Amino acid sequence: MARMKALVLALSTAAVLMVSPAFAVQPDEVLSDGKLEARARLLSRELRCMVCQNQSIDDSDAPLARDLRILVRERLKAGDRDGQVLDFLTARYGDFVLLRPRLAWHTALLWLAPLVLLLLGAAALFAFARRHGLAARSGSSPHTAPLSAAEEARVADILRRNS
């Protein structure tokens, strides 16, 4: 039992030591004003690293991500609002820089495609279920003939014997 506890403790310690948080934001990037730094971190989480593409600039160690983090902080120190910072970066890099693109006419397909695909899938599933008689049945199905008198008598006899 003592060996088992020691093994569990050793494995737990190893697991904790293997997990290391990613610190992409370097200490020299951090703003002294806590409120501005919090805004910068929130904005950095919304911006895509143009090198990594599936990471925010807040999580990326790429040199371009560092440059963008610094640029965000400079814009905030200059007095820009969050929307102005995002507008500046989208004007410079396009909507691709946003991890969550804005809803606009040119991004409508991006936002509406999942809903359209879901509706098409539901319609196809409904059509398949109706075609193959998988829909809920009330009474007799149009594909089956009613029982004859002999068949009804046999069913009644089987039910009597099993009761």
Give Cα separations from 59 to 18, 39, 53, 139, 158 (angstroms): 18, 15, 11, 60, 71
Q: Which of 18-27, 38-47, 76-85 has the lowest mean pLDDT?
A: 18-27
**What is residue 71's predicted lDDT score, i.e. its pLDDT?**
92
Q: Which two structure tokens, joined as six digits, stand for 64?
A: 């371009």
- Architecture in CATH of 20-98: Orthogonal Bundle (1.10)
- Looking at the DSSP bridge assignments, the partners of residue 98 are 47
Give the DSSP letter string of 33-52: SHHHHHHHHHHHHHBB-TTT
Confidence band of 12 (pLDDT split at 50, 70, 90): confident
- The pLDDT assigned to 20 comes to 46
Percentage of the chain beyond pLDDT 90 is 25
Residue 144 has pLDDT above 80, yes or no: no
CA distances from 43 to 11, 16, 76 (A): 38, 30, 10
Q: Is the pTM for the entire model greater than 0.85?
A: no
Task: Give residue-wise pLDDT tens across range 24-61.
Answer: 666 667 777 888 888 988 899 989 888 887 888 888 88
All structural domains of the chain with their residue ranges: 20-98, 102-129
What's at 66, amino acid-wise? R
Whether the predicted pLDDT of 118 surpasses 90? yes
Q: Which residues contact 69 (CB under 8 A, 6 or more apart)?
A: 24, 25, 29, 40, 44, 57, 58
